[in-house]
Amino acid sequence: MTSVADSLVLLRTAIVNVLMSGPPGAGDRGWVLVDTGLPGSADAIVDAAARRFGHGARPSGIVLTHGHFDHVGTVEALAERWDAPVYAHPLEHPYLTGRSAYPPPDPTVGGGAMSALSFLYPKKPVDLGGRVRALPDDGTVPGMPGWRWIWTPGHSPGHVSLWREADRAVVAGDAFVTTKQESALSVLVQRAAVHGPPSYFTPDWPAARRSVQRLAALRPEAAATGHGPVMRGDDLRRGLARLVKEFDRRAVPSHGRYVGAPAVTDAGGVVSVPPPDPRERVAVGIVAAAGGAAVAKALGGRALRRVTGR
């Protein structure tokens, strides 16, 4: 585990990060889990929690930045195991209660293997039923004193980031990330740099731009994102400033399903999505012809096999 800030640590599970908030030895119900990683990572999360907080220590709750498959892969199992509520923005609830799938990914954008394989990623929403709770309207985060949630949509309709003014720490989810998530090589190397949200799963670029602007304006001292290493200080702030200034060139794809118009969503889920870019069928066909599982194995090994389930 990597320390992010006081009482906040990051655990990398394959290609995605989860966060744990609470002091060492906090004990039962004395801590909070933020996001839950890929399917198959539940035991690693439970073991890490036991080492930090004590054997059998359950969280007071699970907070989700958003509900994409790589952030909720173990949420059903962990919520049941720990008998814990799950908190998320109300606009994420359709994707956490089985009512709606997210807008489809676009495998033509981003120019990397992770993008090309995105049509293979799990698409069905999880169904947490009555365990899902809305984040408080007053901006507080249950079980995380001093933290506030900020609505940062674009990558998903109800995406939130978490902010603590006292030490200027931010948990950004996928509003921005610190590795080029579209590239399997970058994911494996984990070279720290500020990047826009993973492009293949971002259906609203104008909203994503505004969210990055909002987070950059906070001038954070430390950032933990959904993908990539922790970044700090001037490197982080310069990276965010550059991303804001050059967002259209560095983050927004030159083409793609959602570039001309965003997906339309509401409190019930997806209302409509733009038609696919003509290149999408070609891209899917090429990867499928090569054998998605074989490509995943060659490009990313164990981590990508876990993603695709192949």
Nearest to 38 by CA among 78, 89, 84, 97: 78
pLDDT for position 301: 43
Q: How far is CA 114 from the centre of its chain?
A: 14
pLDDT for position 169: 98
- What are residue 12's phi and psi, to 5 degrees? -85, 125
pLDDT for position 308: 41
Task: Dig out the tokens for 28 from the structure.
Answer: 């039962």
Predicted confidence (pLDDT) at residue 224 exceeds the cutoff of 80: yes
pLDDT for position 278: 76
Question: What is the rounded CA–CA span in Å between residue 79 and residue 71?
Answer: 14
Bridge pairing between strands 2-5 and 132-134: unpaired
Question: What is the rounded CA–CA span in Å between residue 230 and residue 31?
Answer: 20
pLDDT for position 47: 97
Predicted confidence (pLDDT) at residue 184 exceeds the cutoff of 90: no
- What are residue 178's phi and psi, to 5 degrees? -115, 25
* Interval 92-140: pLDDT, tens: 999 999 999 999 999 999 887 888 888 889 889 999 999 999 999 999 9
Global pTM reads 0.90
Question: What is the rounded CA–CA span in Å between residue 165 and residue 142?
Answer: 16
pLDDT for position 298: 38
pLDDT for position 282: 61
What is the pLDDT confidence band of residue 286, given thresholds at 50, 70 and 90?
Answer: low
* Interval 145-166: pLDDT, tens: 999 999 999 999 999 999 999 9
232 or 189: which leads in pLDDT: 232
* Interval 229-285: pLDDT, tens: 999 999 999 999 999 999 999 999 999 999 999 999 999 999 999 998 776 666 556
pLDDT for position 263: 97
